[in-house]
Amino acid sequence: MQITNVEESNNFTAARSIQKKIGAFLVGGSSFDAWLTTTTAQVAQVLLTLPHTIAQMGITSGIGFQLLYGALGCWSCYITMCLYMDYVKILERHNARRKSHIIQWYEVLNGLLGRWWRAPGLLFNCALLVSTATIQLIACANTIWYMNNSLDKRTWTYIFGALCFLTVLIPTARNYRLWVFFGIFMTTYTAWYFTIASIFFEKHDKHVQHSAPGSTIQYFSGATNILFTFGNHALTLEIAEAMDTPRKYKTTNVYAILYTFTLTLPSAVSVYWRFGDQMLDHPNALAVFSPSKFKNVAIILMLTHQFIEFAALVVPVFAMWEKLLGIHCSQNYTLKCVARMPIVLGICFLAIMLPFFGSINSVVGATLSSIGIYILPCLAFMVIRQHKESRENAVEQPPFWIKSWVGVYCINLGLVIWVGIIGIGFGSWASMHNLMQKVEKFGWFAKCFQC
């Protein structure tokens, strides 16, 4: 009997050891895990559209706007995290912080400014996440078609839409370490495949032309696609909440943006340099590369990455939906999985209705990213910090390179004015005009867009 008990104890210890090792690959809350998730979320199908964007804007403007919006995205993240830490401080002071509860942006606005700010926070945050997830699904169908065109893109959307239902099984953003690690490798390979193939292997056309920008509409459509590229796609707090030390996230995000530049700038510029104005007709850069095993690898990796990012985007939407239904803190895993299915179904419907890869990115950037990611946090910050008590009790004081609240206000105001005019104003006009042209040409629920 004693020997049996010892054997059972050893078996239990071995099982726990294996479980911990598996968990180390799947669950993580370090700054490195946050960097992986942020970089994976930041760069996905935009790698495929940025050469088209450079062809719309020109190399100089394309590079300049990437650097500008990367910096503005970092600042917006910093402002969002400042407000988040103030809200967490209030919760902890009242002993109201629940470990199983994921804090989201609209809750921060509600806690600091009230329900009138909660509504736009919830609306733009949720709409941006759903729209970006829809774009990932559209990108999957568009990308696989360049490897296997025996099926039309709408049929491929059905197939990948069915696979997306597997995302309802993901518990939280912490259960994502292994997948985002793969995601970094996938985007890095694709970006450098574009760069190396464009410079060394693709046939050079002596008559290639680089006439960008061709029109005002093209220019501002491209600018809003870059605006959409940066800003974490409304995932800032969800990623920070998955960290063991959320306060470090504002620095982690800067490193993620810097790494993003090493992928987006060389690939977009080199592809446009090689193919020139031809990229205006191809929102997906894969369309212009010659068939090869390296191209097929890039396609497979991008498909996998887009699926991974789809999951990263819908998990926060699942959390919002569960809170609405009152089951977010429930321990009934099966109930949560079933309740999440209508979200995925709605995203599939949108992807089938609007399969306009590239154009839809600019619309989302102009109408949702502009307000939800850039303007709303800065406005909320300025309203909250207008009170002396709020400034004195703020968890985060002005950065050392600004030193004063006046400087912080000036940057916030400049960001709001710039994004309001260039992003929402000119960007909405150009991107909606471009989208309506696609709808008139191909119609809603197009069977095979640009086949």
- DSSP for residue 426: I
Q: From residue 390, how far is each of 112, 257, 381, 394 by CA, in Å?
A: 10, 30, 10, 6
- DSSP for residue 152: -
Q: What does the domain layout of the chain look like in residue ranges?
A: 30-442
Give the Cα-Cα-Cα angle 302, 238, 342 (nearest 5 degrees). Answer: 70
Indicate the pLDDT class of residue 57, thresholds 50, 70 and 90: very high
Q: What pLDDT sits at residue 28?
A: 55
Q: What pLDDT sits at residue 174?
A: 54
Least confident window among 20-29, 81-90, 422-431: 20-29
Residue 429 identity (one-letter amino acid): W
Tokens, residue 363: 């619309």
Higher pLDDT, 158 or 98: 158
Q: What pLDDT sits at residue 177?
A: 61
Task: Say how far apart CA 236 and CA 242 lie, in whole Å.
Answer: 10
Task: Say how far apart CA 227 and CA 361 lie, in whole Å.
Answer: 9
82-111 residues labelled b (16+ CB within 10 A) or e (exposed): bbbbbbbeeeeeeeeeeeeebbbbbbbbbb
Higher pLDDT, 86 or 172: 86
Cβ(355)–Cβ(138) below 8 Å: yes
Tens of pLDDT along 81-132? 999 999 988 888 888 777 767 788 888 999 899 889 999 988 988 898 898 8
The answer on pLDDT for 274 being more than 50 is yes
Mean pLDDT of 223-252: 82
Q: Averaging pLDDT over each range in 97-101, 186-190, 353-357, which range is the top one?
A: 186-190
Indicate the pLDDT class of residue 178, thresholds 50, 70 and 90: low
Q: What pLDDT sits at residue 15?
A: 42
The answer on pLDDT for 135 being more than 70 is yes
The answer on pLDDT for 17 being more than 80 is no
Alpha helix ranges (H) inside 276-404: 293-325, 333-353, 359-364, 376-384, 388-393
Tokens, residue 25: 């690959």
Tens of pLDDT along 45-55? 788 899 999 99
Higher pLDDT, 13 or 261: 261
Give the Cα-Cα-Cα angle 358, 307, 142 (nearest 5 degrees). Answer: 35
Indicate the pLDDT class of residue 209, thresholds 50, 70 and 90: confident
Least confident window among 25-34, 152-161, 375-384: 25-34
Q: How many CB atoms lie within 10 A of CB 25?
A: 11
Q: What pLDDT sits at residue 72?
A: 93
Mean pLDDT of 152-174: 82
Q: What pLDDT sits at residue 34?
A: 84
Indicate the pLDDT class of residue 231, thresholds 50, 70 and 90: low
Q: What pLDDT sits at residue 330?
A: 77
Task: Say how far apart CA 400 and CA 270 lie, in whole Å.
Answer: 37
Q: What pLDDT sits at residue 23?
A: 41
The answer on pLDDT for 262 being more than 90 is yes
Mean pLDDT of 266-281: 91
Cβ(240)–Cβ(81) below 8 Å: yes
Indicate the pLDDT class of residue 172, thresholds 50, 70 and 90: low
The answer on pLDDT for 180 being more than 80 is no
Tokens, residue 22: 């598996």
Task: Say how far apart CA 233 and CA 359 lie, in whole Å.
Answer: 17
The answer on pLDDT for 240 being more than 70 is yes
Task: Say how far apart CA 428 and CA 425 lie, in whole Å.
Answer: 6
Indicate the pLDDT class of residue 80, thresholds 50, 70 and 90: very high
The DSSP H or E segment spanning 357 is none
Q: What pLDDT sits at residue 176?
A: 58
- DSSP for residue 445: T
Q: From residue 310, how far is each of 140, 151, 232 by CA, in Å?
A: 10, 22, 13
Tokens, residue 434: 């471009």
The answer on pLDDT for 13 being more than 70 is no
Please tell me the CATH code under which domain 30-442 is placed.
1.20.1740.10
Task: Say how far apart CA 206 and CA 274 lie, in whole Å.
Answer: 10
Q: From residue 210, how far is each of 55, 218, 229, 338 by CA, in Å?
A: 8, 14, 23, 51
Indicate the pLDDT class of residue 207, thresholds 50, 70 and 90: confident
Tens of pLDDT along 377-401? 999 999 998 888 888 888 888 887 8
Task: Say how far apart CA 23 and CA 182 lie, in whole Å.
Answer: 16
Q: What pLDDT sits at residue 59?
A: 92
On average, the pLDDT of the chain sits at: 84
Q: What pLDDT sits at residue 233?
A: 61
Q: Averaging pLDDT over each range in 32-46, 141-155, 273-287, which range is the top one?
A: 273-287
Q: What pLDDT sits at residue 8?
A: 46
